[in-house]
Amino acid sequence: GESVGLHLPTLSVQEGDNSIINCAYSNSASDYFIWYKQESGKGPQFIIDIRSNMDKRQGQRVTVLLNKTVKHLSLQIAATQPGDSAVYFCAENPPFGNEKLTFGTGTRLTIIP
């Protein structure tokens, strides 16, 4: 079946460095993607989204890159801070007006002081 998955389950980054979290998706018809951050014991929190007609979108300290050719999504976090430690999920919105999201397995990001 089609799925959204992540390459790395864990990632440790030195505070102040940049981090890159990757996500692979297999549904080539997906037209919308979202990155969520989930802290322990809390619900997911929206970080940034991107539509399939774009290949890059920037937010505050975060950038999402979309490579439709290889069906790859990445989240770049610049100048990481301790508060960035969390699990990050990519989510895929299937096409044809369906609002249901499919979540990847998640990557745990740990910021080392």
Interacting residues toward another protein by CB under 8 A: 31-32, 34, 36, 41-46, 49, 51, 89, 93, 97-106
Q: Report the residue number, 10 or 18, with the smaller CB distance to another protein.
A: 10
Query: What is the nearest approach in angstroms of another protein to the Cβ of residue 79?
Result: 23
* φ, ψ for residue 3, nearest 5 deg: -155, 165
Strands, E assignment, the chain: 4-5, 10-14, 19-25, 32-38, 45-51, 56-58, 62-67, 72-77, 86-93, 102-103, 107-112
Q: Shortest gap between Cβ of 51 and another protein (angstroms)?
A: 6
Number of residues that this document lists for the chain: 113
When the beta carbons of 35 and 111 are compared against another protein, the nearer one is 35
Nearer to another protein, 17 or 31 (CB): 31
Q: For residue 109, what are its two tokens?
A: 């990001």
Cβ of residue 93: shortest distance to another protein, in angstroms? 6
Query: Please, what is the minimum distance in Å from the beta carbon of residue 16 to another protein?
Result: 27
- 51: its two tokens: 């539509």
